[in-house]
Amino acid sequence: MTAFLERYLTGWLCGLGAYGQLCKETLLSLLGFRMALRDLVGQIYFIGFKSQSVVLVTGAFTGMVLAAQAYYQFHQFKMDTATLALVGVSMCSELGPVLTSLMVAGRVGAAIAAELGTMRVTEQIDALRTLATHPVDYLVAPRFLATLLVLPLLTAEAIAIGIGAGYIVVVYLMKVDSAYLWYNMLRYTGFVDLSVGLMKSFVFGGVIASIACYKGMNCRNGAEGVGYATTAAVVYSSIAILISNFFLTLLFGRLFHTL
Amino acid sequence: MIEVHQLQKRFGRQTVLEDVSFSIPLGESLVIIGRSGCGKSVLLKHIIGLLQPDAGSVRIDGEEITTMDERNLIRVRSKFGMVFQGAALFDSLTVAENVAFAFRRNKTLGAKEIAHKVAEVLEMVDLPGIETKKPSELSGGMRKRVGLARAIIYHPQIVLYDEPTTGLDPIVSDSIDQLIIRVTQHLKVTAIVVTHDMRSARRVGDRIVMLHDKKVYASGTAEDIFNSTDPVVQQFINGQADP
């Protein structure tokens, strides 16, 4: 039992060290401008443009469900016009960044881990190294930077769509006066809420890309290993998003409420 | 000059290489033979710095590479070309993009010059006009030839071949052997070939090293090895199973 724990702990610490090393190499690569612009643009297209449908559907239906639920609760207290304010604050600071990031972790994180994992087990990453190319410069840095840049934009899009969809539900289905809805939403949804959401999504972007790249780059054991790396990338990045969201909420709450 | 000195490598509890030492002078064709799993490919990957040994040294033109970090190794690896067992072509790129990969990244040449060099090297490996094809559209033999074209387009000083004829029919294997001999003579490169194929070993090797029981078991010219009376060497050459 002790030997098993020792082996498990050693493996876990080695993995943590390798993850830290990969993050360090990625930052050095970014600071050294070693990445080709063409690779970055390709990744922005794949991660950003091709995630549109997922993000639009997630944002729209989250906003609609939230608006309907909030309306039924507020209606009991004759607070119907506060519905969109709740949708706005929730979408901006929590649901927008977290749900968008979880969806991107599922789509993009899995794709990155599977692609890099396949390259690893078919010796394509070794081939890159023999062609005097650092795999971090060519494979990791563009994916990492693209996810960092794109996730806040996707989050902003999901927030806008969510609020818009919530507005349609409350105004056209629940027949609440739109002028008061807008007034209350703008009154209670501050710039701080939006900023917090976008800053969170920036951090989540780094979490998704670094975990997915690490899992792909360290993939082993053929097709089974690629499957494991893909699953692990999605599971670990989703868990990391949920845990880091709690600490970020505490941090930003402390920062912005004491200002 | 490549010098391997007392190289040791373990994977977990399994020792793969133990005190392996040999050197390869400039322009020589060395063939490494040995049974499956004896560490031939592992040895090849140490020579180009893809793996780090547990002990021992690898010197390339006097430079110790086992202690170098990945960024410094990039400079040393520019002297090498490597042909992988499964070709390891980048499947998202076309043949031309694969072959000209480093030129495209380094931006040292213009598009016309790159296209000219790609056409020239594809002609050399007897595959003219396949620039726009994807690796998935190629046969096993064609993929190995494209892998060779990718390895030699930069005129490296040393070319490593990891089982270049494995999985190919005898006629394609023969054409790959001829290609290796042609490239070695034409470009005057040092060649290191890992193979199980004894016919291939005899044809392409100036010298043969046999790995057995984690060590260099026998070393000599092709004639020395094929005329050896050692039972282990003879068993391997004749392909006889253990009694």
pLDDT at A149 over 70: yes
Residues in chain A with CB shorter than 8 Å from the CB of B102 are 131-133
C-alpha pair distances (Å), B181 with each of B27, B200, B206: 12, 10, 11
- Residue B81 to chain A, least CA–CA distance (Å): 7
Residues in chain B with CB shorter than 8 Å from the CB of A36 are 105
Residues in chain A with CB shorter than 8 Å from the CB of B151 are 130
The tens digit of pLDDT for each residue in B4-25 reads: 999 999 998 889 999 999 999 9
The percent of residues in chain B predicted with pLDDT above 90, rounded, is 44
- Residue A25 to chain B, least CA–CA distance (Å): 10
Question: pLDDT below 50 — which residues of chain B?
Answer: none
Residue among A123, A131, A226 with most chain B CBs within 10 A, to mutate: A131
d(C-alpha B116, C-alpha A92), whole Å: 55
Instruction: Tell me the pTM.
Output: 0.88
The pLDDT score that the predictor gives to residue B187 is 81
The residue type at A72: Y
How many CB pairs below 8 A link A and B?
A: 54
Model ipTM over 0.85: yes
Cβ distance of B150 and A131 shorter than 8 Å = yes
A131: nearest CB among B49, B91, B101: B101
B86: nearest CB among A123, A132, A133: A123
The tens digit of pLDDT for each residue in A154-166 reads: 999 999 999 999 9
Chain B residue at shortest CA distance from A132: B74
The tens digit of pLDDT for each residue in A16-45 reads: 999 999 999 999 999 998 888 999 999 999
The pLDDT score that the predictor gives to residue A127 is 94
Cβ distance of B105 and A133 shorter than 8 Å = yes
The pLDDT score that the predictor gives to residue B102 is 81
Contact predicate A170/A71, CB 8 Å:
yes
Residues in chain B with CB shorter than 8 Å from the CB of A129 are 49-50, 70, 73-74, 77
pLDDT at A259 over 70: no
Residues in chain B with CB shorter than 8 Å from the CB of A134 are 70-71, 74
d(C-alpha A172, C-alpha A170), whole Å: 6
The pLDDT score that the predictor gives to residue A67 is 95
Helix axes A83-90, A178-188, angle to 10 degrees: 40
- Once rounded to an integer, what is the mean pLDDT over residues A51-72? 95
Residues in chain B with CB shorter than 8 Å from the CB of A31 are none
